[in-house]
Amino acid sequence: MKSKKIIVALTGASGIDYGIEAIRALSSHDVETHVIISKWAKQVIEKESFNTLDDFQKLPDYMYKENDMSAAISSSSTILDGMVVIPATVKTVSNIATANTGNLISRAADNMLKMKKPLIIGIRETPLSPGCLHNLNQLSLYGAIVLPLSPGFYHRPKSIQDLFDFISGKILDCFNIPNDKYTRWNSVIQSE
Ligand SMILES: Cc1cc2nc3c(=O)[nH]c(=O)nc-3n(C[C@H](O)[C@H](O)[C@H](O)COP(=O)(O)O)c2cc1C
């Protein structure tokens, strides 16, 4: 049995490979992954991912469609260690911020908020509208962690993989999972 059970929800935003890389990172750190994919996330994988849909589908331990409301993870009676929505669209952010639990993603996220479990929102949009900023602020006040998909550059990235690893490392940090996915600022100073 793996040490943690975490939901990863992929929604239909650009930067979909941040989500796929997050699944890989969690899986390689003893996490059982429960992946929900929205209809539009599937489209974005086909349009821009470095991964094929077939390769992606082999990664999760468990995989759900967004309309699978009878899945075990739809109920807060299923014990989980948290959830990350990555990439998170403006639409899904709005659904979660307003407790609009019409699909499995917003329903599972609402369960995290009500059970006070970690909920990480990897928002992917730029610039941000006042409505989206309001919703992100609400989510932060409700206890979610808003994690914009905007990697730092102090670790001197040399490849796109370095950018993915920075974000995956931050997600692992949010779940208190020790990792060396990116070079921490302290190590950067010491090596100068
Ligand atoms: C190729 C592509 C890229 C998109 N990128 C974004 C994005 O970065 N951020 C966003 O909020 N919506 C983006 N959208 C729009 C969302 O897919 C759309 O709002 C959709 O209804 C979101 O549904 P979902 O949250 O259930 O996946 C994109 C759509 C397409 C087709």
Q: Which atom of ligand 1 is nearest to the CA of 132?
A: 11
d(CA 133, CA 127) in angstroms, rounded, equals: 10
In the chain the domains, ranked by start, together with CATH numbers, are 4-190 (3.40.50.1950)
Q: Which atom of ligand 1 is nearest to the CA of 43?
A: 31
Show pLDDT as tens, one digit a residue, over the chain (192 residues).
899 999 999 999 999 999 999 999 999 999 999 999 999 999 999 999 999 999 999 999 999 999 999 999 999 999 999 999 999 999 999 999 999 999 999 999 999 999 999 999 999 999 999 999 999 999 999 999 999 999 999 989 999 999 999 999 999 999 999 999 999 988 877 777
Instruction: Out of 17, 36, 39, 40, give the residue to mutate to test ligand 1, the one with the largest number of ligand atoms within 8 Å of its CB.
Output: 40
Structure tokens at 102: 């019409």
The Cβ of residue 107 has, within 10 Å, a number of other Cβ atoms equal to 23
